[in-house]
A and B are shown apart, each in its own frame.
Chain A
Amino acid sequence: MHVKQCVIRSSEVLADSLPELAGSSPDLLLVFGAVKHFAEGDLAASLKAAYPEAILLGCSTAGEITSEGVDDGNCTVTAVRFEKTTLTRGSSRLQGMEDSFAAGERLGRQIAAVNLKSVLIFGPGVQINGSALVNGMSSVIGTDIPITGGLAGDGGAFRQTFTLGDEGVTDNAVVAVGLCGDSLRFGHGSFGGWEAFGPARKVTRCTGNILYELDGEPALAVYKRYLGDHARDLPASGLLFPFAMLGDDHNALGLIRTILAVDEATGSLTLAGEINPDGYLKLMHASTDKLVNGAESAAEAAMAMQEIPGDTLAILVSCVGRKLVMGNRVDEEVEAVGDVFGSRAVLTGFYSYGEISPFTPGASCKLHNQTMTVTLLGEA
């Protein structure tokens, strides 16, 4: 496997940077960039023109990740050439949040193949039920195939995100690539580092991924109380207090949910994924150090999964909430991951509105929030 990467700065033009990738004859081009790169210009056309053989895959971000750290406003293009692994591709338009499961199914059918080993998936970051999407796909391809990826971001605006597939740039398509073949080596890990605090609050009213009431109180009111002045910055400031999902025995399920939107009228919170209507939620908080340690854990987990010789590509999908918490120090978590993987790994990735990964090796894939999700690819 060969990986080459180029970073297009905000002020630069794509066409100028592309020659850095020359000679790579890639099979896959991973593109993660700020919204403006997707919204304007002809990103897809340029890439297609330059590398007509390659599959395009990517999305808009709330921050770009490279081996050097985290940037905003850039666009990273990572070219990957596989020796033996074959690829399948898929793309499906999402028709509303309720279509999330079906879209996942459609996508699954597209990328399904005999020797499918793993899937990379990217979807819109708003108006989406991320867990339903993942479940939809799992229902088709089976729960054994690891699905990793994430939900696109839009720099924290939570207004409009973009994805890039073979059809080009859209704001409502879910795109995926399936990796097939026995020589593929794959590792993943996902870790948060958040800690729950306070009382366990009973979910008293919710529908799917919309939380109406906690303990009989409008969920939004709870948030506002805790955020205080920062409530002005909702929904972004909501990232500061994700929810820990608890079972009805008050034990943590290990899942974290971040809000995607708020509704003043109903006092409800739209979360990135579904929550257990009989369950409990606790508020969570994190410190930078905890988060960095979390990222490190994720990387270590990914490393531990499989022995991957040769060059590796690490796709880091981190959560925008973490960036908000860590502020300037956000680079540290990328550095921590890079330290774990070593110099032979090329890092790419983005800050998303939801991470997709199996929770534990072999477990079904879930939508995560507030985690550092790492996918390590290589070939044997």
Chain B
Amino acid sequence: MQKALLRQLKRSLGIADEAALTALLEAAKSAASLADPALRGLLTGFGVLLERVGESYDQYERDIELRTRSLELSSAELSGVNDRLRDELCQRDQALHSLREALADLLPAASASDSLLGQGCEDLAALSERIAALVSASEESRRALANQKFALDQHAIVSITDTNGKIIYANDRFCQISGYAREELLGANHRIIKSGEHPPELYAEMWRSISAGQVWRGEICNRARDGHHYWVSATIVPLLDRHGRPEQYVGIRTDISDRKMMEKQLSAQLRLVEDLIEAIPLPVYIKSREGRYLRLNRAFEEFFVVDRRKFIGKTLHELLRPEDAAIHTSRDSELLAGGGSQSYETSVHGRDGKEHQAIYRKVALYDSEGKIAGLLGAIIDITERKAAEAAMQQAKEAAEAASRAKSDFLANMSHEIRTPMNGIIGMTDLALDTALTEEQREFMSIVKSSAESLLTIINDILDFSKIEAGKLLVEKIAFDLHRVIAETLKTLALRAHESQLELIFSIEQNVPRNVIGDPGRLRQVLVNLVGNAIKFTPEGEIAVFVRATAVQAREVTLEISVCDTGIGIAKDKQAAIFEAFAQEDSSTTRRFGGTGLGLSISSRLVELMGGKIHLDSTPGEGSTFVVSLTLEIDETPPSALTTHVDLAGKHILIVDDNATNRRVLAGMLAQWAVKTRSVDGPTAALSLLVDQGQHYDCILLDAHMPGMDGYELAACLRETHKVTIPMVMLSSGAMRGDAKRCQEIGISGFFAKPISQEELLAALCRVFDLSRNQRIIPPRELVTRHALRELQPTLDVLLVEDHPINQRLALGLLEKWGHRARLANNGLEAIAMIEDHDFDLVLMDMHMPEMGGIEATRKIRAREQTLGLKHLPIIAMTAAAMEGDREACLAAGMDDYLAKPVKAGDLLEKLLAHGERVPASPGFNYATALAGADRETVEIIAEIFLETWPRDLGKIKEALAGDDPVTVERVAHSLKGSLGTFAANPAIRVAAAIESAARQKNLDDVEVQLDSLTHELESLSTHLRQIVASISG
């Protein structure tokens, strides 16, 4: 029972204790059965109620107890927790504080600005953020550092040693380059890589520096494991502890072995260059940009006679004389400014006063950036050279002068000697042409032959001199090879004939006709060789064969063989005969004469022409001289000889006792497809023609045959046997009058032997009368040479020559040939005469008083041009052997030239070549013109004009004399007008020319023009007179 309840019961019910309560309850229960029904419940249930109440009280107590207990316990717990928390907080505070301090230590710089730390904020999160940032930053730096270290390791050789030099770190490159493994390096002393190349002082000094905490830098040679040395550039950095004392040494090195090697090579090269500069025998110097000497070599010292040490750093002003310095200063400036190189000649003086001629060669020097850093100069001493040059120049001039003197002498000599010779020979010729007694003829012949011999000798000597003096010039002109040789031989044929020798000429078909060379010299050689052959062949024949051994596009190699059946030359003498003055033996001179120069001249001439001459000979049988020569082929020959086919099929009979001749002729004819028959004499011919009655189209007869000669045969055939076949006579001795004889007998053609191909062709053409129908251009010579000459019309020739003998000679020849010759003494006279008279040809001497040939020719040509006159052939006669003269002649306007002394044959040739009958009127037909004019007008004024024009001309002449151009102009003008009526163009032209000249106040040439005008007017007058005459009935 609850005490409280019990107490309450005690109070309220008066119950003493529990036992009493129990008894009461019992009593209640028993009373319940007696009590009121309403109270029954109360009495019976009272006990239960009390129980229930008691339980509730218990419950409440329990609850309260529990609650109180809980309260106490939880309070205690809570304060305990509180205390604990406070402690923890306190600790935390302390921790934070320490942390803050630590942070402040770590970031002394940041703390000032860091509000977090400054204010002592307890925000742990912020602090931890800060720390995280710090750590991250530190991490960053660590990473950066690691990268740097890595990079460093790639490049550098890194080692770290402690203060005793023991290696505590070696990077890969260190291991690599030293050849040691890392394990070997670590812990070893750094001296294991000492090479021993350096003096101990180096290492001592290094240690001193780094021990003192200073960075040491230098280049060291180290030794690798295998013993080889390598060079490094080292930087040794002491790492200091917090007290500033070194605790470790970091060595960072780069491998410079390559560089060291290059340096060595470079210095070796430099040494070489140094030695080179010193060794060069030329003075060499190097100047700086400012023009100061940087280097001078030994040669320089010797040249200028200086000590180089005194002049290094100085300029040229201190070295050279002022006048010398001046030259070079500007040059130097130029070079230093513009770069490039210079080379010039100058004189310079050494310090000893000696003058040198020198060539300065300078070049600008560039630095590595391409800027001009200085110049290099070299001096070439040409003093001696200059002297030598000067001496040589003098010698040259002297030689030239001597040479010129020689030439002049030779020229003079040529002229001086030849002129009288010309006279002698020419006159002798003329004399021989006149009627002479036998005795006289004989004397004259001897004179002539003597003179000719002499001339030959003189020519030889002169030629020889020229050759020796090197003055002989070989020409290069175009000429007809066949013709030249043929002609040359023609002239020799006579001599051969006189010696009863046959002269045979054969030129092969493949030999080009038109070549370029020196025909004159060729002729000379041929004359010499054939002449010799004639001389040394008592009997038989001399054959000249011309072959082409090689024909190319531009040139032909000829072989001209002169074969004789003469006395021959002994083998041992063959070489000698080409020597000057040598003959076969001295007896030869006596027997045969001659200077002995001929062959030597010939051989030299051949050599000059670029050929060779050689000899084959058998004493007693004969000799063959062979000239091989290469000539250029003239690609533009003047004219081509076109063969025509019409001779083909003709039958021709050849009658000649000489087999070679027959062969040659037959050969020529065969080329034209002519059928030939050859017989060796008249007997055979007669037999064929008369007895057998064979028909031929033509007969070629040799004039000289044993028994019956050609003429006799011809006469016989014609008269006795009435053979009408045309005949052509070939004679080796052509003489004047032969033509006549031929004509008399009825021989169609006559030719001197040897006959050339063209001559034969022309002859045959003429014989067959083909030339008219054929478009062949016959050579200048027609049927016979003489015939041609005879056929040639008479020429009006003007001879312009001052020398009386030459005058006489030329005139004589001209008259002999039937030409009309007039004489002018000099150029002036010539011009006057030309104006006066129409000439067909002018023979012009060169050197004459008053006016020479060149000037006269020029004037004549000028006049021709002005007046539009026909070209007047002018042939120069020149004694000169000089090349230049010929050109001058041609330049002046001459057509050709003859060499003096003039030979008849040459003259004749030129006449034939250039002489043409000039028609009476100079190209203009006044009659025709007049016919075309207005006849009535002409009739009216003709008579008056005839009266007035002479007076007009007189007026002009007066005005000229009085230097009155106005009058000249006026008169000329009116004349011109009148002349217009007559359509007299040439006259009008001249009048107009006079008029315009006068208008320009230029009266110089008017006189000349006046003369020509006179001439024209005279011509016109002739016709006018006719008209007047016709009018008047």
Contact = CB atoms under 8 A, between A and B. Distances in A.
Interface of A: 197-199, 225-228, 230, 240-241, 283, 285, 287, 325, 327-329
Contacts of B52: 328
A325 B66 CA distance: 11
Given A198-B70, A240-B66, A329 B56 contact: yes
Interface stretch (B71-79, B496-504, B990-998): B71-79
B55 A283 contact: no
- The CB with the most chain B CB atoms within 10 A, among A199, A227, A283, A325, is that of A199
B69 interface: yes
Interface of B: 52, 55-56, 59, 62-63, 65-67, 69-71, 73-74, 77-78, 81
A322 B74 CA distance: 22
A198 B56 contact: no
Contacts of A226: 69-70, 73
A228 B78 contact: no
Q: Which 7 A-B pairs have the closest CB atoms?
A: A198-B74, A327-B59, A199-B81, A199-B77, A199-B78, A197-B74, A328-B56
Contact of B73 (A225, A287, A325, A329): A225
Given A198-B77, A198-B78, A199-B78, A328 B59 contact: yes
Given A230-B66, A285-B67, A328 B55 contact: yes
A285 B73 contact: no
A285 B73 CA distance: 13
27 contacts: A197-B70, A197-B71, A198-B70, A198-B73, A198-B74, A198-B77, A198-B78, A199-B74, A199-B78, A199-B81, A225-B73, A226-B69, A226-B70, A226-B73, A227-B66, A228-B69, A230-B66, A283-B70, A283-B74, A285-B66, A285-B67, A285-B70, A325-B63, A327-B59, A328-B52, A328-B56, A329-B56
A197 B68 CA distance: 12
B63 A287 contact: yes
Is chain B's interface secondary structure helix, strand, loop, or mixed overall? helix
A227 B74 CA distance: 12
A285 B62 CA distance: 13
Contacts of B70: 197-198, 226, 241, 283, 285
Nearest to B56: A328
Given A226-B70, A230-B62, 10 more contacts: A197-B70, A197-B71, A198-B78, A199-B77, A199-B81, A225-B73, A227-B66, A325-B63, A328-B52, A328-B55
A190 to B, nearest CB: 24
Contacts, number: 39
Contacts of A240: 66
Provide the main secondary structure of the chain A interface: helix
A4 B62 CA distance: 39
Contacts of B78: 198-199
Nearest to A325: B63
Contacts of A228: 65-66, 69
Nearest to A230: B66
A226 B71 CA distance: 9
A285 B65 CA distance: 12
A284 to B, nearest CB: 10
Contacts of A327: 55-56, 59
A52 to B, nearest CB: 42
Contacts of A241: 70
A314 B65 CA distance: 36
Contacts of A199: 74, 77-78, 81
B78 to A, nearest CB: 5
A325 B67 CA distance: 12
A327 B59 CA distance: 7
A329 B66 CA distance: 18
A298 B56 CA distance: 25
A378 B89 CA distance: 59
A285 B64 CA distance: 11
Contacts of B81: 199
B438 to A, nearest CB: 181
A343 B661 CA distance: 188
B55 to A, nearest CB: 6
Contacts of B59: 327-328
Contacts of B74: 197-199, 283
A218 to B, nearest CB: 15
A288 B77 CA distance: 26
B81 to A, nearest CB: 5
Nearest to A201: B77
Contacts of B67: 285
Nearest to B53: A328
Nearest to B77: A199
Contacts of A285: 66-67, 70
B74 to A, nearest CB: 3
Contacts of B66: 227-228, 230, 240, 285
A25 B519 CA distance: 174
A327 B55 CA distance: 8
A66 to B, nearest CB: 20
A228 B62 CA distance: 11
B839 to A, nearest CB: 156
